[in-house]
Amino acid sequence: MQRIDIDRLRPGDIILTANRTKAGKLVRVASRGIVSHAMICVQHGSIIDSTADGVQAWNLQREYFHEDEAVFAFRLRNALSPAEMARVIDFARSEIGTRYSKSEAARSVLGGAKPRGSRQFCSRLVARAYGSIGIWLVPDQDYCTPEDLRKSPLLVELEDVTQAVSVAEMEAIAARPNPLQEMRDSQNAVLTAGRKLDPTIENFNDLDKVVRNHPEWDSAIAQAYRDSGYLDIWKHELQAHPYRYDLAVMESIVAPEMLADLRTYCVDTIREAYSGGVRFAINLAHYQAAQNASERETLKLLIQLYETLVRNHELRVETARAWLLRHHPADVAQYMERVVPHSELWSSIVDRVEPQLGVIARHAIRRAKSINVCSSCGDPARDYGLANAADAMPGVPSLRLCDDCVAIRRGFGEELYPLA
């Protein structure tokens, strides 16, 4: 068996495969192609696709292919800015839960009427993700095939994207809990309950609108979240991997055969220090704003959930960073993900999680006619990370501050550390 080498992929990469199923063979025959399924990478080791189970996220390390199955990976020929790629990924994530349209998938290869529905199928999801920022991988993003994506002139194929996987390793992985499957089950349970109230609901964005517009259904939807286990999935991660959240426990790992894997885990974690969890802070800000507008029981539950997820992600990153600083400090300098203050990506994040900071920073930049100034007052500054952002400014990836503003913020309890 083989699987995709996750270290060969970047967020936004497109994976195309040719599975052995009857449906896959029919797609390849009808489209006169060599591939029949499309997926998009959204994070290190994580992909999103649309199948008969709807739009879902998957762990690529659990996805196996026979040796004779074709597996391809493609990347946009002209690289996007980090802010643009974040928007592509945001679109794909926002579609999670959306139901599969078998009839429209069939029309993409067989022809016929082409209604523009909100449901998804694999190649439509990928094409629409890029179309959301104005990039048309194919002439018709609503009706395209995986083969159309493979032939897109905007994409370039990646080489050597698969690796062999042994039966022993597959058995070891299968024996471990699968949190993504648990998440999929809970998401489907919540959406199924919501669709009993409003059959037009496709994804969680739709469900949020129902919560806002139908206060009479609020209690039932809140109960659906409780009953599904959606609010408690995070507990399984803490129970299974306590060392990821406690430096003392991590330091107790001393077996030489485990230290190399631990170092790899820590490096992988700080590589996505912000991109790996900023969605939690964005969702938190979204639900807080919605609750300020109209109080709902459902929103209260979701605010509590995302406060926890923001805090846990920060703790996970800071634990990995602290361990590396003690044992492999050069790794932090080399691999720690950095969002440069006042960059396009920084502004796109801050505008969603701490909009007042964005307004103040833009004012300071305009006044100084330079981006190399303090985010607060416009004086000469240097860049800082915020170790306790979950409590101080959830989701803010970095700050550019003068000495006076650093002292003031530290006086209010912010744990600032200089960035190289």
Predicted confidence band at 114 (pLDDT cuts at 50, 70, 90)? confident
Query: What pLDDT sits at residue 110?
Result: 82
Report which residue type is found at 169.
Answer: E
pLDDT at 34 over 80: yes
Predicted confidence band at 36 (pLDDT cuts at 50, 70, 90)? very high
Mean pLDDT across the chain: 94
Query: What pLDDT sits at residue 23?
Result: 84
Span 402-416, average pLDDT: 96
List Cα–Cα distances, 82 to 10, 87, 102, 258, 280, in angstroms. Answer: 11, 9, 34, 34, 18
Query: What pLDDT sits at residue 49?
Result: 97
Closest C-alpha among 74, 40, 82 to residue 57: 40
Query: Looking at residue 58, what DSSP letter applies?
Result: E
Closest C-alpha among 319, 329, 308, 338 to residue 399: 338
* Cα gap 181→314, rounded to integer Å: 24
List Cα–Cα distances, 51 to 69, 75, 310, in angstroms. Answer: 18, 22, 30
User: Using one digit for the tens of pLDDT, what is the confidence trace for 274-332?
Assistant: 998 999 999 999 999 999 999 999 999 999 999 999 999 999 999 999 999 999 999 99
List Cα–Cα distances, 267 to 86, 115, 274, 336, in angstroms. Answer: 21, 46, 13, 8
List Cα–Cα distances, 129 to 72, 111, 163, 352, in angstroms. Answer: 19, 23, 27, 20
Using DSSP, state whether 230 is helix, strand or coil: coil
User: Using one digit for the tens of pLDDT, what is the confidence trace for 188-212?
Assistant: 999 999 999 999 999 999 999 999 9
Beta strands across the sheet bearing 71-76: 54-59, 46-51, 37-43, 14-17, 71-76, 155-157
User: Using one digit for the tens of pLDDT, what is the confidence trace for 329-352?
Assistant: 999 999 999 999 999 999 999 999
Tell me how crowded residue 285 is: count the other CB atoms within 10 A of its CB.
Answer: 20
Query: How many CA atoms lie within 13 Å of 45's alpha carbon, on the beta-carbon side?
Result: 10
Predicted confidence band at 9 (pLDDT cuts at 50, 70, 90)? very high
| Cβ-contact 16, 38 below 8 angstroms | yes
Span 166-191, average pLDDT: 90
| Cβ-contact 1, 79 below 8 angstroms | no
| Cβ-contact 145, 24 below 8 angstroms | no
Query: What pLDDT sits at residue 75?
Result: 98
pLDDT at 30 over 90: no
pLDDT at 420 over 80: no
User: What token pair was written down for 406?
Assistant: 């650093």
| Cβ-contact 354, 278 below 8 angstroms | no
Predicted confidence band at 68 (pLDDT cuts at 50, 70, 90)? confident
User: What token pair was written down for 174?
Assistant: 């299968």
Share of the chain above pLDDT 70, in %: 100
User: What token pair was written down for 22?
Assistant: 């009857």
Using DSSP, state whether 283 is helix, strand or coil: helix
Query: What pLDDT sits at residue 178?
Result: 85
- In CATH, the architecture of 2-163 is Alpha-Beta Complex (3.90)
Closest C-alpha among 213, 192, 17 to residue 122: 17
Span 32-44, average pLDDT: 95
What are the residue boundaries of the structural domains of the chain, listed by start?
A: 2-163, 344-418
Answer positive or negative: Cα dihedral of 52, 55, 61, 67: positive
Predicted confidence band at 111 (pLDDT cuts at 50, 70, 90)? confident
Looking at the DSSP assignment, which residues form a beta bridge with residue 3?
163
User: Using one digit for the tens of pLDDT, what is the confidence trace for 126-159?
Assistant: 999 999 999 999 999 999 999 999 999 999 999 9
